[in-house]
Chain A
Amino acid sequence: MKVAMLGATSGMGRAIAQRLAARGESLFLLGAHEDLLAKSAADLKARHPQQRDCRYAQCDLEHPEQFAAALDAADRALHQFDCVIVTAGMFATQAALEADIELTRRLLTVNFANTIVFCEHVRKRLLARGGGRLVVFSSVAGDRGRKPVALYGPSKAGLATYLEAIDHKFHAEGLSVLCVKPGFVKTSMTAGLKVPPFAGEPGAVADQVIGAIDRRRAVVYAPPIWRLIMFIIRQLPRAIMRRIGI
């Protein structure tokens, strides 16, 4: 595969990049911070000598005007990518978001509007070359309106709906979409939060996601137990959701 990754500088994205690099896929890194991109590319080269020319370009989800140029750079380096993986995203606690309306606006813009705009650039390119893989991280937080994720959740729900829709619409044309819905995973994004039962590790999630890419799955919950947990939570009546804190 020739893979462009947005968000491979940290967390689950980084774990996926390490595994893809180890199996010899060609990688190109996209992200908001040049210094972190440079270090991450150097790391992939040092750990995996076959990744001699892993390159990168700046692509900030808060700056949609950068998207086209960044994807051009990826296309040039990879001689046309056939897979794009988006792990980039923003998180803030419900308390922080409620206290800061500007933070809320930024998070909704990055996770929803701009991620979808980015995916639209990718979709057009992939369809023009006969199809390819688009892998995007939504969240279990989008599966049901819940108190602790009342603002973050909808940004991921909107994203998941978009991914489902383009899967329906363009699957026949060769676009294969994977929507990843992580539960709680121990990364710097969730550092400091109370760790719930069934928390996952980024490495295990990465293995699961790569398995799902290989098997051309459309949706994957990670760790898998979260599919069941969310199924149950979706069944809970509104009267109960109003009373409990989950």
Chain B
Amino acid sequence: MPEPKQIEEPMLSGWGRLPVEGSEQISEDLEKITRGAVLTRGLGRSYGDSSLPASPNDSVACSRLANRILSFDEKTGVLRAEAGLSLADLLAVFMPRGWFPPVTPGTKFVTLGGMVASDVHGKNHHREGCFGAHVRSLRVRLADGSIVECSRADHSDLFYGTMGGMGLLGHILEVEFTMQPIPSSWIVMESERVANIDEFLSALSQSAPTWPMTMGWIDCLSSGRAMGRGILMAGRWAEPSEAPPAMPKAPHPHTMPVDLPNWAINGATTRLFNTAYYWRHLRRRAHTVLAPDPFFYPLDAILQWNRVYGSRGFTQYQCVLPREAGPEAVREFMARLTKLGGASPLCVIKDCGAEGRGTLSFPMEGTSIAVDMAVSPQIQRIVDNLNEFVIAAGGRIYLTKDRFTTAAHFRAMEPRLDAFQALREKWDPGRRLKSAQSVRIFGDRE
């Protein structure tokens, strides 16, 4: 009998589960494993190939175990931690003490490093901007191996380039940012059934001034007069007088035990789900007090939910259309999306506030639409088609979700690309840092 192999077959994938050959170094000692590495990844929640190596022999560091909290100032809320600290971990420690991160994406299974590298946004983007707006300082290992501390005052170009820079300017080792005090550990939410996309856009802009957090779920299979119908959710932290006296119970997530078959999510099941979800919201408007987890992280209730798409994998298309393009652009985008097919139950709309300072940061003033799509032979055509529309409308896509955008399309939608490449030329002239995505989109050598 042959000796069983001691070494694991090396495969890595992002959240969309399209694996590539490659392996990651993992250790509590992030400084050690980033030496000589071409990329650092966190919890792999980016959907596409942002966190994947360009070639199987590239050494990729994984920050997940480097998650120490280095300091916290109870007076100012300033927190410094290693880049591998997850939001889930941070919340478990600090929510009971009355603190919450200033910005959170729709899952808590992300690392601080990933939040900076994608310059993530949340339901409060129209108020608070991206996560990067709250970062004070970063400790970064550069491509040449040296380590620098950067901030708005020191090496500010590196600081802003690293925000939304997808790990391509340096390995983020430590992140210092400001937490926010919360009046209670509960959320007051108002949700409203919305009949179509025009109503949606006006409802979003009406709630923005009064509600610090807003977002909407869209039934992207509805068409005609109901096109873009859905549910608008607006929230704020509950005042102590409105909140239940106890802390919310720790959530007990279920795990998706197996891959569903590839046909499980199709037009018919999606239509069924969407219709049910829409009409479950019986009253037109509802007012609830709920725990932060179901409000911020509804999808985290089922671990490994990405297995519902089966072995074919999936992607998310997320773009932002500028305010100037008007509601017609959003309406037309939705019409295209419905016509192209391939859409899934998850379609989310959000109005973004002003563009941040991250050199390649995604959000801009306008409307962001995100939709999950199973990977099919048509996927490239669908993404190309949507990208052409987005380019014409003056919008852009979100790199951390992307797997299929072409280099030519990205250049056409991204006037800031030259500025970013100039930063790479300065901080990594040999282009040692790269990912599968940077090879595909920025034309790096494999």
Query: Counting CB contacts under 8 A, is B69 at the interface?
Result: yes
B62 → A minimal CB distance (Å): 8
Q: Which of B22-56 contact A (CB under 8 A)?
A: 23, 25-29, 31
Contact indicator B68/A39 (Cβ below 8 Å): yes
Q: Which of A93, A148, A243 has a CB less than 8 Å from the CB of B1?
A: A243
Interface of A is mostly: helix
Chain A residue nearest to B68 in the complex (CB): A43
Query: Counting CB contacts under 8 A, is B402 at the interface?
Result: no
Query: Counting CB contacts under 8 A, is B57 at the interface?
Result: no
Contact indicator A36/B28 (Cβ below 8 Å): yes
Query: Counting CB contacts under 8 A, is B328 at the interface?
Result: no
Chain B: residues with Cβ within 8 Å of the partner, total of: 24
Contact indicator B29/A194 (Cβ below 8 Å): no
Contact indicator A42/B71 (Cβ below 8 Å): yes
Contact indicator A93/B6 (Cβ below 8 Å): yes
Q: What is the CA–CA distance of A246 and B70 in the complex, to the nearest angstrom?
A: 42
Q: What is the CA–CA distance of A193 and B6 in the complex, to the nearest angstrom?
A: 6
Q: Which of A41-71 contact B (CB under 8 A)?
A: 42-43, 46-47
Contacts of A194 in B (CB 8 A): 4-8
Query: Counting CB contacts under 8 A, is B251 at the interface?
Result: no
Q: What is the CA–CA distance of A93 and B10 in the complex, to the nearest angstrom?
A: 16
Contact indicator A188/B68 (Cβ below 8 Å): no
Q: What is the CA–CA distance of A64 and B86 in the complex, to the nearest angstrom?
A: 37
Contact indicator A245/B3 (Cβ below 8 Å): yes
Q: Which of A173-212 contact B (CB under 8 A)?
A: 188, 191-195
Contacts of A99 in B (CB 8 A): none
Query: Counting CB contacts under 8 A, is A244 at the interface?
Result: yes
A-B pair number, CB within 8 angstroms? 65
Query: Counting CB contacts under 8 A, is B93 at the interface?
Result: yes
Most central of A46, A244, A246 by chain B CB within 10 Å: A46
Contacts of A35 in B (CB 8 A): 31
Given contacts A147-B3, A193-B8, contact A46 B71 (CB under 8 A): yes
Contact indicator B71/A188 (Cβ below 8 Å): no
Contacts of A188 in B (CB 8 A): 26-28, 65
Contact indicator A14/B8 (Cβ below 8 Å): no
Query: Counting CB contacts under 8 A, is A172 at the interface?
Result: no
Q: What is the CA–CA distance of A241 and B30 in the complex, to the nearest angstrom?
A: 39
Contact indicator A95/B31 (Cβ below 8 Å): no
Query: Counting CB contacts under 8 A, is A155 at the interface?
Result: no
Contact indicator B72/A46 (Cβ below 8 Å): yes
Chain B residues close to A by CB (< 8 Å): 1-8, 10, 23, 25-29, 31, 65, 68-72, 82, 93
**Seed contacts A47-B93, A188-B28; 10 additional CB < 8 Å A-B pairs:** A10-B28, A43-B68, A46-B70, A46-B72, A46-B93, A148-B4, A192-B10, A193-B8, A194-B5, A245-B4
